[in-house]
A = this chain, B = another copy of it.
């Protein structure tokens, strides 16, 4: 018997295809990691090549000139920005039927380390802390721009996850509109609040702590679990246990605890699955709604262990061939 499970936060149904279910170990990857050098002369993100990127927006450095070496985390505009901080927010009509507007926004790259061949799970704890603090700082700076509606921080790891550059980096996109699937997610949370008077993510956390079968890690202030309606094998969510709508509200101290959870989860996956490709994204409230009772920021990791095909692309409904209870137990018990 296969099973349909509904994500309580989006109301999206997922097919858990137990008929073709695979065991957690079946997802171990052929390693995608070539042996990379710690420095590459033609890499635009390696120290000494700062002139190969647009001028930096922010850097953590112990000395050295701006746009020179000496930094350990560095944020620069994406050289091939999808959105740029110019133009008008006014919608225009085309041919009496179509609507368009200028691509107003910001698209940044956060270079996570000077070292070409590192990745988050293999970094020192302190370095991962600094990466998360850079996320926070760029978020807090960009939310002041009244043209932006939402700030999305994400990472692509591995060629199967859409990375074009090896050097460890994350990305940030500030958009002038709230993308529709974020709006839908937000509306569902609002609907739950209107019905139940509670934040659906807070309820999810309470249920997770009661059931515990899908928990992977718990600290004083954070929780990591494989969601009940996981869309893909080893999908993982990390949430603050206390209600907080926006990533922009995270404290410096909580940033450190969050970075530790992120690192441990990625380290477990790195060893358990042999350096899988993945995407992660920080889901957070639109800038104007950062104080709302009904949204709750969280990070979602989507490993790229299977290829979504026509059914998923066309319906938004995912077929998952692993049981989240089994993958969670596998990762929870995996020693690092």
Chain A interface residues (CB < 8 Å from chain B)? 1-6, 8, 10-13, 15-17, 19-20, 80-84, 86-87, 94-103, 152, 154-156, 159-163, 171, 173, 175-177, 179-182, 184, 203-204, 206-207, 210-211, 228-229, 279-281, 283, 300, 302, 306-311, 313-317, 319
A-B contact pairs, 26 of them (CB 8 A): A1-B86, A2-B81, A2-B83, A4-B102, A4-B103, A5-B98, A5-B99, A6-B100, A8-B97, A8-B99, A12-B179, A12-B180, A16-B103, A19-B80, A19-B81, A95-B207, A95-B210, A97-B204, A156-B310, A162-B310, A175-B317, A179-B315, A182-B314, A279-B309, A279-B314, A302-B313
Q: What separation, in Å, do the CA atoms of A211 and B180 have in the docked complex?
A: 27
Q: What separation, in Å, do the CA atoms of A152 and B316 have in the docked complex?
A: 12
Closest to A87 in B: B1
- Stoichiometry, as copies per complex, reads 2
Partner of A179, one of B13, B82, B99: B13
- A97-B3 contact given A152-B314, A300-B314, A311-B171, CB 8 Å threshold: no
- A316-B4 contact given A15-B103, A103-B15, A171-B310, CB 8 Å threshold: no
Q: What separation, in Å, do the CA atoms of A311 and B10 have in the docked complex?
A: 18
Contacting pair A180 B103 (CB below 8 A) = no
Partner of A4, one of B12, B86, B100, B180: B100
Q: What separation, in Å, do the CA atoms of A171 and B319 have in the docked complex?
A: 14
Q: Which residues of chain B are near A16, meaning CB under 8 Å?
A: 103
Partner of A2, one of B17, B103, B310: B103
Q: Which residues of chain B are near A302, meaning CB under 8 Å?
A: 310, 313
Q: What separation, in Å, do the CA atoms of A313 and B232 have in the docked complex?
A: 12
Contacting pair B5 A180 (CB below 8 A) = no
Most buried by B among A83, A86, A204: A83
Q: In the assembled complex, how far is the CB of residue A231 from the closest CB belonging to chain B, in whole angstroms?
A: 9
Closest to A160 in B: B307
Q: What separation, in Å, do the CA atoms of A121 and B206 have in the docked complex?
A: 54
- Beyond the given A6-B99, A17-B80, could you list 12 further A-B residue pairs with CB under 8 A, ordered by the A residue number? A4-B177, A5-B99, A8-B99, A15-B103, A19-B82, A82-B311, A96-B207, A97-B204, A154-B311, A181-B315, A279-B314, A280-B310
